[in-house]
Structure 1
């Protein structure tokens, strides 16, 4: 740094502290990027900007990284620690002078050639001053939004207006030793390395800010001029016997109703407001696997976020988390019910586009929406929609509605250049503010229409919501899956006409199922879900404190490093006593304190119903361990071969219901893991191929018994249907009687979960049995037992408690 520049640096250092506030990605640079402080570190910057360098200096000090203004001394020779790719243009000219980047890299390569043990690290640091993408056709905003290579005057204005909205993103260090060993030491290597760095920064800018935005009216006009929509308008005019201009105006109204109006200013305001909200409501927002998504965006993937839907908070929380992770906020598919004043305006300017609940019978609306979605994808905007469509009222994943997924696949069949990648997202909470409303709706009350007054009512009830969890699951690359399942899919590409080839329906169903499985595989365990699950299984919903702590410890250990749940996250604490204390602090559980004795933790009858919601968030993770415990307690001794056979008989049915995807190899690995964990907790004894449950003097089989009860309600539902089948009824009557029987059983045995008497779940199970050939249809269209019916029935009957089984078998 020249003396003059150093002088200016000292001059503006203090004003910069007031003007600039930086968010750093990742938050813990050394740990996240494996930067080795023992090796020489050089920072690579996009621009030779004093503002960038001083901001980098501040960030490095906070992160305990070397100061960029301190030279690096190697063999007595001093090197500048930062490497800038480009100089900024001067105020009077748009021409830029060359930087010293290439000579610097050449000098470093020469040092590595002469010193075999030297390994310097190049650490890219990208600066985003404000994150607005700019308008595609608005030259008036260029002075503020054209930040890629602003002149000195523009840079000054950018720091003044966007300094409090600065983002600094560090990337994986590049080893010059590896570069030199693989590619050599000459000038062409240095030139290529710098070209790759420029491309890297361009990709980062696109991932952070997104592509330039079209003016909303310009986008609508572009959509109306598309061949697909012009044809739909012509068909509408013919069908309804109106002129083209009227049909076109109808299409324009549809597009105006649905189209987003993204404004960075609204996003900035929203970020400040939501930061205040989250700090008020939550003790913390736990985010996992975000680095995977950043890499997808950096690699140029067209990202489609497909989260589960628990609460209205999901809209805000996921977008907020994505933005906080240094990624451009997605355009969000929202139900038209949320388009009410003033929330609809704010959502629209935050990137929401609105859709009607049903497109049925309105071909023009379908065509307009499909074309709008295709335009978003083709222009590079990430999008977000909920495959379940609506919020889950029971806490379990709902069967996916495949309409949006189908339209996404159809966009790929238009020849889209960018690879579409689905990113499943699990969203979980220790408190969902709508749970009591969900229970009312499940009991028969009408759903209340969303309104401004309803929002105000919610805001008045804001309180401690515990912790929130956002886990990004295993991505699904659409092109890769198409190549694997439909190698000839490119033959069906058409640039304008929506395609539905013969393979299309099954493919959409399969990939929708895969999305839901990947969401469930990325679940998050937390204090409330684990405590709810354990107490709901306990007699009278009560346990001594030490027994409950032991059960929580077992539940966490059963899923520690357990395949196939590679993206699952464990609770923030490993201490079961602390975990229980966190749950109790949520004011959902009753504590009966006994002087000098063990406290009793319990659920009231009202809370027991509400807490089935939280149990259902994670119940799918314990289906297999619970089945293992059930088999062991039922038989006192079981061989591994018999256990495998029983699990294999039940797993296909439960996998579909609970969105589990487990290969045979993963199943064996998971069963081995579960048995080893049970043995570590001294609940089973492994003796060669034999497995024995272990009784403890204190309380025989308590933990194993509680674990076995997690799957009981599922087995009981299955048993009700199988018992009803033997009456030889048609499908509709079979489902009606099974539902009646389920309600009777729930009443007699105090089964609290509303999903137990959910008609759709019973209907889906009947459909599964038919598809698997376990049920067959006779000449009178009645459902009758198939070939594998009796082995399945007997296996399920054996695992159900005797008094409950008696009720199930008893005639209605």
Structure 2
């Protein structure tokens, strides 16, 4: 490699290679290699373009240049004076192996190409194996370690063809091209970054310490060199596969192979036993089903879509924040496994964003499960080419369709493609994650259990929006408006959407689950009975929901929404709002919740001043939470809020532009105390969407606080307190999802000890072990109580109306309409306090819970050839119903009574 290159080449290299991304992590990996010993770079196929690129990038990032290489000569790329000196200088008489030894002995870097372009295996082995043998010999006698760094640069993101053309033997393949094909490929791909179509991808594989290949006593270096070669080629191939994917097969080939498989033919024959149609007819319908389902992936289409979407994202979002560490874990998982990406689903944008990010970061976009409502021309064809496959909404009564879908999923995974599906089934309209749907997950578990897929790793992924583009329609549907058949194409064509800023978008990744290890953990064998596998699927589904929640990002808009909706008062002063946000931030930090990068940066810059962890918990001042003091809030919570004020102001301005928040300023004063925020009635529902994106982090605190505030005697015994908290936990089973295998008692006592440590409750000594709360902390408990108050109010409303179902069957839709009208009437009467109590998804979750508790029974009847759900109150359960209703009413009203109780004690 050259320390200096000719001026013409310097300009050319900058023009060609400026857009090829060489991330800081790649440079850090190579510097780690330098720290560990003498560095030897390895590239797979000899190429002057690859050599010049790494020469350029090593100079740019001040990385060690290779003093020796078995690649093309760089003499003619020197500056003129250096070129003349080289031409007239006497050439070294050292052999290539000895020249390599001299460079390594001097502690300088070297570079080895493993193969010649379009060469046979024996020719490539003769070309480079002697150098690998020499490295092993040097390692055996050298005092300093030698570290091998396999390097990969992918100029063409298209995978190898399933059946190479006849010319491949002469001109090479896409990934191992000959000189002419390489020149054409580089020229073709270098202009694409300028049109936002992605860039060539560079990767540093895992460093290989040569000490692992040091020949033993009496062992030949050639044996160790052979093992080294195998490992290097395997690493490079694995890394390449994460970038380009498996060998390319057209969608038609995949469908044909599915139907031609003997096991598939046997499955169709077994299906005929319960089907009146002939085998030929069943096969024909299966072929039609596969045509309806299957994707027809094309990397060119992905490139074109990336080019089209980049300006769209820049226009509607202030930035895309990607969890790069999480993405590196995904890349590692994809090297040896089929990956299944399971994102949250809040917007139509979700269909595009994962594929876009994977492509931009050098990973193969997964095949995406999409509803057949998106399969309309021309969007449907475009999505198929980008990797989408389409699924009907209802497939329960069509066993042949279910079989075709299961076979297609198994085929995609077995071929090495990634898969993406939304475990919630549809988009969340409330901001919270919905309960998992198990259909596709069960098919994946079955495919793994049957041995169709060797290794599967599941990647939970959270896509978090500061503001969703469907916010208004989501809220309308939550309040009972008919569901609109909107689609992504219409949204992206909307002038309002394309001219609105919606804050930042965050994509983060949770703990990756190895399906094989997960099954072993629960002692479920691949050949276990279906009942065991189905039970495991349900457990896994809830685990994934939990992991997605854990991966979610707490954003400024979520913090602002929670404080605006939870603080009491018609208007909220700016200092009080910021102090409440600081209080919430402190809670989230203690729980290890992931904050948005902007919040992290703001807090890091003030870390020395804040020192939140040293706050004296016993001097906790919570008056700012209730607004009972006119003094401006001070202390660590106010400072925490002030630290992130810039981003909170930005979030609130976005809400104000959408008429969700109002500002009021009292004239004649310059003080912040006289600047107030208010939430109009029509804004509460939409703000609750953003509040709900982080509320799950505070649910254990909110449930315990609610149980503490229930009316009763001044001293609360531990057992009744635990029972009330357990009641709430079980009540909200379908609203909030808890840690897998987390026993209630452990969560209760963990939260209890946190409250005790902060002075929010006191536990008396044995024998009575009573719990006491103090007047100084009643406001903090009330703040937590109000976080889940709207959910509790909704469940209490539903419980109170169950007598409407007594003695007759009522259609579920009719009863929910009844609940909607009742809620609206009670709201205007002042009985229901919050407009967001009217929430159709929460009505349905409450009904589901009361069915499980045995207060309501349901049945399915055919109505106009369509299944219809009906409900009826269970006879003989009146006493249990009244008891449950009274418990909920007491919990709902606990805050006011608690104030009176604490005052009496004081």
Q: Please indicate the TM-score interval, normalised by the length of the shorter structure.
A: 0.7 to 0.9
| 1:797 partnered with 2:797 | no
1:147-226 equivalences under 5 Å are 147-163=174-190, 164=192, 165-175=199-209, 187=221, 188-226=223-261
* 1:371, distance to aligned residue in structure 2 (A): 1.6
Whole-Å Cα distance in 2 between the matches of residues 645 and 183 of structure 1? 70
Cα RMSD after superposing both structures: 4.5
* 1:207, distance to aligned residue in structure 2 (A): 1.4
* 1:395, distance to aligned residue in structure 2 (A): 1.7
1:244-283 equivalences under 5 Å are 244-283=279-318
| 1:751 partnered with 2:834 | yes
User: Alpha carbons of 1:183 and 1:585: their partners in 2 closer, same or farther (altered >3 Å)?
Assistant: farther
| 1:761 partnered with 2:845 | yes
2:22–2:57 Cα contact (<8 Å) kept? no
* 1:308, distance to aligned residue in structure 2 (A): 1.5
Structure-1 residue corresponding to 2:116: 88
1:306–1:423 Cα contact (<8 Å) kept? yes
Give the one of 384, 402, 415 matched to 1:366.
402
| 1:577 partnered with 2:575 | no
| 1:133 partnered with 2:159 | yes
Give the one of 554, 562, 565 matched to 1:536.
565
* 1:804, distance to aligned residue in structure 2 (A): 11
Give the one of 769, 777, 782 matched to 1:705.
782
Deviations 1:606-643 (A, max 9, x none): 22121111112221111112234445566888788886
* 1:567, distance to aligned residue in structure 2 (A): 11
2:171–2:178 Cα contact (<8 Å) kept? no
Give the one of 480, 485, 494 matched to 2:522.
485
Whole-Å Cα distance in 1 between the matches of residues 555 and 101 of structure 2? 49
| 1:341 partnered with 2:409 | no
**Aligned to 1:560, what secondary structure does the other structure show?**
helix
Structure-2 residue corresponding to 1:319: 355
1:125–1:170 Cα contact (<8 Å) kept? yes
* 1:168, distance to aligned residue in structure 2 (A): 0.6
Structure-2 residue corresponding to 1:382: 418
* 1:751, distance to aligned residue in structure 2 (A): 1.7
Give the one of 26, 29, 32 matched to 1:35.
32
Unpaired segments ≥5 residues, structure 2 = 70-99, 193-198, 604-642, 857-870, 899-906
* 1:720, distance to aligned residue in structure 2 (A): 4.5
Q: For structure 1, which segment, 610-619 or 507-516, has the greater mean C-alpha deviation from structure 2 after superposition? A: 507-516
Deviations 1:38-88 (A, max 9, x none): 554623433343322332233345545444569999999435524335132
2:161–2:247 Cα contact (<8 Å) kept? yes
TM-score, normalising length: structure 2: 0.75
2:367–2:388 Cα contact (<8 Å) kept? yes
* 1:511, distance to aligned residue in structure 2 (A): 2.0
**Aligned to 2:417, what secondary structure does the other structure show?**
coil
Whole-Å Cα distance in 1 between the matches of residues 426 and 231 of structure 2? 44
* 1:550, distance to aligned residue in structure 2 (A): 1.7
Deviations 1:285-313 (A, max 9, x none): 22222222111112x11111111111110
1:646-795 equivalences under 5 Å are 647-661=725-739, 663-664=741-742, 668=746, 672=750, 702-720=779-797, 736=815, 739=819, 746-747=827-828, 748=830, 749-753=832-836, 756-758=839-841, 759-770=843-854, 781-783=875-877, 794=887
**Aligned to 1:46, what secondary structure does the other structure show?**
strand
User: Alpha carbons of 1:267 and 1:459: their partners in 2 closer, same or farther (altered >3 Å)?
Assistant: farther
1:731–1:782 Cα contact (<8 Å) kept? no
Whole-Å Cα distance in 2 between the matches of residues 178 and 546 of structure 1? 61
Whole-Å Cα distance in 2 between the matches of residues 490 and 547 of structure 1? 60
Whole-Å Cα distance in 1 between the matches of residues 182 and 466 of structure 2? 44
| 1:46 partnered with 2:44 | yes
1:394–1:755 Cα contact (<8 Å) kept? no
Whole-Å Cα distance in 2 between the matches of residues 418 and 372 of structure 1? 16
User: Alpha carbons of 1:524 and 1:802: their partners in 2 closer, same or farther (altered >3 Å)?
Assistant: closer
| 1:391 partnered with 2:427 | yes
Whole-Å Cα distance in 2 between the matches of residues 644 and 459 of structure 1? 53
User: Alpha carbons of 1:676 and 1:509: their partners in 2 closer, same or farther (altered >3 Å)?
Assistant: closer
Unpaired segments ≥5 residues, structure 1 = 493-500, 806-812
* 1:316, distance to aligned residue in structure 2 (A): 0.8
User: Alpha carbons of 1:641 and 1:350: their partners in 2 closer, same or farther (altered >3 Å)?
Assistant: same
1:33–1:172 Cα contact (<8 Å) kept? no
Whole-Å Cα distance in 1 between the matches of residues 296 and 53 of structure 2? 32
* 1:528, distance to aligned residue in structure 2 (A): 0.8
1:232–1:363 Cα contact (<8 Å) kept? no
Deviations 1:432-473 (A, max 9, x none): 111111222334433333468724543552221111111111
Q: For structure 1, which segment, 53-62 or 633-642, has the greater mean C-alpha deviation from structure 2 after superposition? A: 633-642
* 1:352, distance to aligned residue in structure 2 (A): 0.6
| 1:17 partnered with 2:14 | yes
* 1:712, distance to aligned residue in structure 2 (A): 1.7
**Aligned to 2:520, what secondary structure does the other structure show?**
helix
User: Alpha carbons of 1:743 and 1:398: their partners in 2 closer, same or farther (altered >3 Å)?
Assistant: farther
Whole-Å Cα distance in 2 between the matches of residues 422 and 702 of structure 1? 42
1:85–1:101 Cα contact (<8 Å) kept? no
Give the one of 686, 700, 707 matched to 1:610.
686
Whole-Å Cα distance in 2 between the matches of residues 450 and 718 of structure 1? 30
Whole-Å Cα distance in 1 between the matches of residues 28 and 772 of structure 2? 44
Whole-Å Cα distance in 2 between the matches of residues 320 and 686 of structure 1? 53
* 1:255, distance to aligned residue in structure 2 (A): 1.8
Deviations 1:187-217 (A, max 9, x none): 3555434432221111111111111121222
Whole-Å Cα distance in 2 between the matches of residues 557 and 407 of structure 1? 42
2:160–2:174 Cα contact (<8 Å) kept? no
Count matched residues. Answer: 780
**Aligned to 1:391, what secondary structure does the other structure show?**
coil
Structure-2 residue corresponding to 1:59: 57
Find the structure with the greater CA-based Rg. Answer: 2
* 1:178, distance to aligned residue in structure 2 (A): 7.6
Q: For structure 1, which segment, 637-646 or 450-459, has the greater mean C-alpha deviation from structure 2 after superposition? A: 637-646
1:683–1:693 Cα contact (<8 Å) kept? yes
User: Alpha carbons of 1:453 and 1:125: their partners in 2 closer, same or farther (altered >3 Å)?
Assistant: closer
| 1:295 partnered with 2:332 | yes
User: Alpha carbons of 1:106 and 1:181: their partners in 2 closer, same or farther (altered >3 Å)?
Assistant: closer
* 1:128, distance to aligned residue in structure 2 (A): 1.3
Q: For structure 1, which segment, 648-657 or 250-259, has the greater mean C-alpha deviation from structure 2 after superposition? A: 648-657
1:622-661 equivalences under 5 Å are 622-631=698-707, 647-661=725-739
Whole-Å Cα distance in 2 between the matches of residues 338 and 687 of structure 1? 61
1:33–1:171 Cα contact (<8 Å) kept? no
Give the one of 459, 462, 470 matched to 1:434.
470
2:710–2:890 Cα contact (<8 Å) kept? no
* 1:731, distance to aligned residue in structure 2 (A): 10
Structure-2 residue corresponding to 1:512: 541
* 1:283, distance to aligned residue in structure 2 (A): 2.0
Structure-2 residue corresponding to 1:621: 697
